[in-house]
Amino acid sequence: MAVRTGAQFLKGLQDDREVWLEGERVEDVTTHPKLARMARTLASVYDLQHDPKYHQDMVFKSPSSGEPVALSYMIPETQDDLLRRRRALEIVAHDSYGMLGRTPDYVNIQLTAMRQMASLYGRKEPKYGENLIAYHAYVRENDLCMTHAFGHPQVNRGVLISELSDPYIALGVVDTTTEGVIVRGAKQLATLAPFADELFCPLYRPLRTDSDEDKKYCLGFSIPANSRGLKFICRQSHDMGDSLYDYPLSGRYDEMDALAVFDDVLIPWERVFNFQDLELANEALEAVPMWRQYMQQVAVKNIAKLEFILGIIRGIAQGVGIDGFSHVQEKIAEIVDILETVRAYMRAAEADAGPYQAQDIRGEGIWPAAEPWIAMRNWYPDAYVRIIWIVEQLAAGGLMLTPSQEDVQGPMAETIGKFYQGASLDASKRIALFRLAWDLVGTQFGSRQALYERFFNGDVVRLRQRRYANYDFTAAENAVNTFLERDRLEKPQGA
């Protein structure tokens, strides 16, 4: 099929998937009033691949069919390949103003990175490596959209998953048949789930290598979103169906989050990447750094988002005549610095890219450098909180002076025209700009954006703990030791 159009993508979603939203089973995610606009947004992302302006920059020649397929499935071999992939990511991220964390390229790159380490998965049992390679080719050739879920339900983090009140809260193996593995339980947190063709569940949590109990939870796989017994329970929609003037972001970019519940779901053997190999599960945690590849999408998305935010806040500052105040300029410059720091991290990771090897396993292709990504991943969540604070500080009460479209066009239009105008904006444009800022930082959509930046990549608290545990402090220790040694040998003055 090569690259799909938006219409083909939408048609693919019209199946018997089980999506639950606000107490009801959704019949058709492409027409549901609280999901349809996001479905159309994603369709427009697929359509970009067919736009003559972008087509060549978004595809590469499939190694199996020779057809043009999405670049996010390419195994990059050179730095030029990384830059080529970056260009494709930029087209998508700028089209959605960085408001979507989960354009399909994100998980595509994640799966591709795992595929680059297929020999690790096939080391003991070649079929699991082969499954991974075949699956990667399958989604690439069919241009499928994936959601992914890594975590166990947040029921009781104080005990092991095998110690929870029910053995099937965390996803566990119930039985095996000649066709595959039957599983029960749940996985969190599947962003994009209602709009995905596939649910990807790589095994990415630590397990006890000496525990027969943990074997039950040791399974890496991927399955179609409409698999029998698979249910997605969505959070409340942030798209309330309101006008896009009132909620310009919520109404377009609510990518949705869900819990994936497995009610005795059959995972066909050919979709299994790890079955009860506890050593492989734990080794993969360190040895398969998928993030070294997908962080390129994150950086590109962040750059697009920060440019957009910068445009909003500068527009507001100019619009209400505060842009001449030096502290306002200083705060806007702080956002510029965050934007340029992300760009610098990205360029450093690309420039220092090289081969990757974990013990005896060599990853295929080229891998962006780890250090810039780790630093960016641990720093950016705090930087984003600061950005929100700056937007609130500068937009201030204006965020509340945001009457609806009905007011702006209603009987009070003339009065609104007088009191809601800005220094350089008419009332309608000024209100639109402030409503945009409010949707960015204040609405349910805006709050979720902030939470996303803090958690989508894991919990920064624990990421930093890992950073401390793994960092090589030799240079730091040497620096202070040589400094202290120097002073010790120096005679005190006047002695």
Ligand X SMILES: Cc1cc2nc3c(=O)[nH]c(=O)nc-3n(C[C@H](O)[C@H](O)[C@H](O)COP(=O)(O)OP(=O)(O)OC[C@H]3O[C@@H](n4cnc5c(N)ncnc54)[C@H](O)[C@@H]3O)c2cc1C
CA-CA distance, 429 to 436, in Å (whole number)? 10
Pick between residue 65 and residue 447 the one whose CB is nearest to ligand X. Answer: 447
Cβ atoms within 10 Å of 459's Cβ, excluding its own: 11
Least distance (Å) from ligand X to the CB of residue 31?
24
> Which amino acid would we find at residue 64?
S
Strand order in the sheet with 198-201: 146-148, 198-201, 219-224, 272-275
Pick between residue 382 and residue 459 the one whose CB is nearest to ligand X. Answer: 459
CA-CA distance, 357 to 435, in Å (whole number)? 49
Least distance (Å) from ligand X to the CB of residue 114?
14
Does residue 357 sit in helix, strand or coil? Answer: strand
Least distance (Å) from ligand X to the CB of residue 466?
11
* Residue 24 backbone phi and psi in degrees, to 5: -130, 150
∠ CA 343-113-12 to the nearest 5 degrees?
A: 100
Kindly state the tokens that stand for 367: 């891998």
Least distance (Å) from ligand X to the CB of residue 412?
37
Between the alpha carbon of residue 300 and those of residues 75, 97, 193, 251, the distances in Å are: 18, 11, 23, 23
Pick between residue 203 and residue 436 the one whose CB is nearest to ligand X. Answer: 203
Pick between residue 181 and residue 189 the one whose CB is nearest to ligand X. Answer: 189
Pick between residue 153 and residue 372 the one whose CB is nearest to ligand X. Answer: 153
Closest CA to 425 of 322, 334, 331: 322
* Residue 217 backbone phi and psi in degrees, to 5: -100, 10
Least distance (Å) from ligand X to the CB of residue 339?
22
Q: How many CA atoms lie within 13 A of 226 on its CB side?
A: 13
Output the DSSP codes for 19-49. Answer: EEETTEE-S-TTT-TTTHHHHHHHHHHHHHT
Least distance (Å) from ligand X to the CB of residue 335?
22
Pick between residue 224 and residue 458 the one whose CB is nearest to ligand X. Answer: 458
Q: How many CA atoms lie within 13 A of 125 on its CB side?
A: 14
Least distance (Å) from ligand X to the CB of residue 459?
4
Pick between residue 245 and residue 456 the one whose CB is nearest to ligand X. Answer: 456
Pick between residue 140 and residue 148 the one whose CB is nearest to ligand X. Answer: 148
Least distance (Å) from ligand X to the CB of residue 200?
9
Q: Report the Cα 414 to chain-centroid distance in Å.
A: 44
**If you ran DSSP here, which 8-state letter would residue 399 be given?**
G
Least distance (Å) from ligand X to the CB of residue 189?
4
Pick between residue 230 and residue 395 the one whose CB is nearest to ligand X. Answer: 230
Dihedral (CA of 438, 439, 444, 447) sign: negative
* CA-atom Rg of the chain in angstroms: 25
Contact 237, 182 (CB under 8 A): no
Least distance (Å) from ligand X to the CB of residue 381?
11
Q: Report the Cα 30 to chain-centroid distance in Å.
A: 22
Kindly state the tokens that stand for 206: 């630590």
Contact 8, 1 (CB under 8 A): yes
Under the rule (CB under 6 A), what is the footprint of ligand X? 148-151, 154, 157, 189-191, 257, 448, 451-452, 455-456, 458-459, 461-462
Pick between residue 146 and residue 353 the one whose CB is nearest to ligand X. Answer: 146
CA-CA distance, 102 to 146, in Å (whole number)? 9
Pick between residue 8 and residue 444 the one whose CB is nearest to ligand X. Answer: 444
Least distance (Å) from ligand X to the CB of residue 148?
5
Does residue 182 sit in helix, strand or coil? Answer: strand
